[in-house]
Structure 1
Amino acid sequence: MAEMTIAEIKQSAEQKMGKSLDSLKSDLAKVRTGRAHTGILDHVMVDYYGSPTAVPQVANVSLV
């Protein structure tokens, strides 16, 4: 296994951190202060007949 140079490690870390920030921004965009939002459940997984499935695919989620 070849060793990585410092520049390669730095580049890899920057890419991973960028992806993490993009994910955080996406998650924060779903949070709306003062009111509920069904989009918050889009990535919640439940066990459905033995396989992980997103909540919106298993149930109809709505606000009353």
Structure 2
Amino acid sequence: MRIVADKDVCVGAGQCVLTDPETFDQSEDDGTVILLAEHPGDEQKAREAVHVCPSQALSIEA
């Protein structure tokens, strides 16, 4: 499983960071997503983070 983050779509809501802080962080400049791990250790948390993203900036590739 691989996570893909589209920074152009991200609105900086931070839901991904709250859901899975080991995989996601936020830029201090504009609040957009920073991907800490393309291949997350906890796939369930990463899937939940993708699901709760309000701008749909996150996706999963097999």
For the superposition of Structure 1 and Structure 2, which TM-score range results when normalised by the shorter chain?
A: under 0.3
Q: Which has the larger radius of gyration?
A: 1
Judging by fraction of residues, say which structure has more strand.
2
Judging by fraction of residues, say which structure has more helix.
1
Q: TM-score, normalised by structure 2?
A: 0.22
Identify the structure with bigger relative contact order (alpha carbons < 8 Å, sequence gap 6+): 2
